[in-house]
Amino acid sequence: MQTKQTSKNKFFKFKISGSIKILLPILVILVLVSALSLTACGKKKVSAKAALPVTISKVKILSTKIYLKEPGYFLPYKTANIASRSAGQIVKIIARDGNFVKAGQVLAIIDRKKAYFTMKSQESAVKQAKAALFLAESTLKRDTILYKKQLLTALDYDTAVSNYKKALASYNAGVSLLSLDRKDYRDTLIVSLISGIVYKRYINLGDYVPVNKLSYQVVALKPLELEFYVPQSKVPLIKNFETCFAAVKGYSKKIFSGKIYFISPSLNSQTRMVRVKALFQNSRNLIKPQYFADVKLPVGFVKDGLFVPQAAVRTGLKGDYLFVYKNNGIVKQKRVVAGVTKDEYLQIIKGVSKGELVVVKGSNLVHDNEKVTIAK
């Protein structure tokens, strides 16, 4: 029994050792392959990090105008708040929000029956007074002739003069009252004071309005004023009657121009900004009140300045910087002072020299003294 068990153990030991001899070379090969793969990946990562592909651009010499750029918005140059001049019920609405109206155009009508009949009654009274005046004047002329011929007593002559004066006074009073009645009749019409667009209507059909009830707001579209604010330090650069330009969303291919006509004599104590207004003729009514605009005001000129693509300049905690490409493929970080923009280029006032190459695409990935390759 013991002999059988011993022979059985020997068989198992032989079988295990044989398996190990077979598996051991396989394990060694797998380990070597893994090591080579890791080494290759490591080399690729090191290689990619050491030679980041970038695009470069040469520092350009350009000339351009210097613009002061600020946001602004358009406002009506003329606004008319139109109120009722008579009390009564609104019987007709003619102009509604958004309608274009001319100066003197009727916008709404107040009930005018009472004013009409009062005016007509007074017209009749004036006609009667005029007839009485004509009679008194004719009588006075006749009595004057008779009085001069001593065919009429002084008392009768004085009576004729007195009757004429009374008739004249009555006629003049009637004419004055008729003038007021006609005005009351006209005042039942709510009319526009200026030409423009109905910005807001405050009355509706059937409303009873008192005297001086705000009924309409009309804004003129020609011209419009552009209001914007400039920093205190830039105020000396702008003057009245200078041309300024405005870009309005929705009109990407059109630049509007106007003239500065107002520079505030005081500044906002909190923002340290000065209010400026410019007048735009808006001849084609393209601009509307409350439109926002990007204002450009020419304040100088840069001749033969150093410019780089805007994408080359980065902003950090210590200010603006860029990377200069050297002949050995190493990039050097340089702090710069930026100036004005011209299309997609940015002026560099300080930090680069004529003819230097700067990193454009990839400038957000590279570091100082890093080796790069030029992408094709």
CA distance 332 to 310: 18
CA distance 209 to 112: 13
In whole numbers, what is the pLDDT of the chain averaged over residues? 88
> For the chain, how far is it from start to end, CA to CA, in angstroms?
82
> What pLDDT digit, counting tens, does each position of 17-42 carry?
555 555 555 655 665 555 545 454 45
Report strand pairing: 372-374 vs 52-54: parallel
> What pLDDT digit, counting tens, does each position of 92-118 carry?
999 999 999 999 999 999 999 999 999
Which CATH number describes the domain made up of 69-76+221-299? 2.40.30.170
User: Two tokens at 100?
Assistant: 């274009």
Q: How far is CA 89 from CA 47, 67, 105, 200, 203, in A?
A: 88, 56, 19, 19, 10
8 A C-beta contact, residue 228 and residue 72: yes
Residue 308's closest CA among 56, 68, 52, 54?
56
Report strand pairing: 60-76 vs 292-309: antiparallel
List CB contacts of 370: < 8 A, sequence separation 6 or more. Answer: 50, 52, 330, 331
* pLDDT in the model for residue 2: 45
CATH number among 3.40.50.2300, 2.40.50.100, 2.100.10.30, 2.60.40.10, domain 80-218: 2.40.50.100
DSSP secondary structure letter of residue 254: -
8 A C-beta contact, residue 329 and residue 294: no
CA distance 227 to 207: 37
* pLDDT in the model for residue 50: 54
In the chain, residues under CATH classification 2.40.30.170 are 69-76+221-299
Which CATH number describes the domain made up of 52-64+303-374? 2.40.420.20
In the chain, residues under CATH classification 2.40.420.20 are 52-64+303-374
* pLDDT in the model for residue 21: 54
What is the secondary structure of 275-329 as a DSSP string?
A: EEEEEE--TT----TT-EEEEEEEEEEEEEEEEEEGGG-EEETTEEEEEEEPTTS
User: Two tokens at 133?
Assistant: 């005046």
In the chain, residues under CATH classification 2.40.50.100 are 80-218
Confidence tier at 13 by pLDDT (50, 70, 90): very low
Residue with tokens 């393209």: 286
Q: How much is the pTM? A: 0.61
8 A C-beta contact, residue 207 and residue 117: no
Q: How far is CA 348 from the centre of its chain?
A: 31
Lowest mean pLDDT among 58-62, 327-331, 334-338: 327-331
> What pLDDT digit, counting tens, does each position of 206-227 carry?
999 999 999 999 999 999 999 9
* pLDDT in the model for residue 10: 47
